[in-house]
Amino acid sequence: MFALLWIPATLAASVLQVARNALQRGLLPKSGPWAATLVRFLFGLPFSLALALAIHALSPGTEVHLTTEFWLTTLSGAVSQVMATAALLVSMRRAGFAVGTSMQQSSLPLAAILGLLLFHDQLHAVAWAGVALTSAALLVLTWPREAGGPQPISGGVFGLLSGLCFGYSLNCYRQAGLAMDAGHPIFAAAATVTVSQTFQSLGLSILLAIWDRAALKSVFTAWRQSLLAGLCGAMASICWLTALGFAPAAPVRALGVVEAPVAAIAGRRIFRESLTVLQWIAGAVVAVGVAMTALG
């Protein structure tokens, strides 16, 4: 029964991630990409820590295994996630909220390939066909609609970079959670997120304190929006890692593609963006590819 828990966990993570992205994008004009990236980690850390401690207290048998594998994979995932988040925010600013979020879904095929090459995760032929179909549909979905956009090409490049980094970090966090406590994936997810957010918060805070104190100050000035973004970010990360505790990164990332239509709706309502009929059709094809990958 619990083996299928990755499905609702992934759906929750996708919705929470869109909310976090929207809140972070709202901070972007004043704070810049690095300070807006810091928000999700610094303000999410108290929530992650509280949840990890609560799960540990309420779940008998949970153990903390701080092995070399755990530290290496967590640190690698943390650095990659920072780069992915900053690239995503730049992509959304240059190519639009929905397009930037959709380009992030390139982490689906990249996560599958990296999972196979680095961690030997195995997928069936149907799942690989779903990965290929989803990738092709995403290419259509994210193709710039007109040359008059701000910087659509560079926005797409940053979106692809974001997908690459997210794909790598997903695989790293999956391995970190398994190394922490493979028998209690929810606790392992919360503990891994807490450790990674500690690294990320300290690193980005120190860098901004040295190079851009005004941006660091702006994060705390808008503390209400920052706190909400941190909450959504922490809960999204924990849901992602919970899902990864039950399934390989590729099918988890595949089901997570549902955030693309959610982002399209959010972009239309919040940022007054719209998608073409062709992009909506591509979105439906993405759903088919998601089902093939998840069920394959």
HEC string of 73-124 equals HHHHHHHHHHHHHHHHHHHHHHHCHHHHHHHHHHHHHHHHHHHHHHHCCCCC
Instruction: Tell me the CA distances in angstroms from 199 to 82, 83, 235, one per residue in order.
Output: 10, 13, 18
Q: Tens digit of pLDDT for each residue in 59-106?
A: 877 878 888 999 999 999 999 988 888 887 777 776 666 666 665 665
- Interval 171-218: pLDDT, tens: 888 889 888 887 788 888 888 889 999 999 999 999 889 988 888 888
Q: Which of 3-7, 168-172, 243-247, 253-257 has the highest mean pLDDT?
A: 168-172
pLDDT at 158 over 60: yes
Average pLDDT over residues 262-277: 65
As a whole number, the mean pLDDT across the chain is 76
What is the rounded CA–CA span in Å between residue 187 and residue 227?
23
Domain boundaries, the chain: 2-26+60-183+237-295
Percentage with pLDDT > 90 across the chain = 9
Answer yes or no: is pLDDT of 294 > 60. no
> Which residue reads 């996560």 in tokens?
111
pLDDT in tens, 128-147: 777 777 767 766 655 555 54
At 23-50, the pLDDT tens digits run 777 766 667 778 878 887 888 898 889 9
At 138 the pLDDT is 65
> What pLDDT, on a 0 to 100 scale, did the predictor assign at position 109?
61
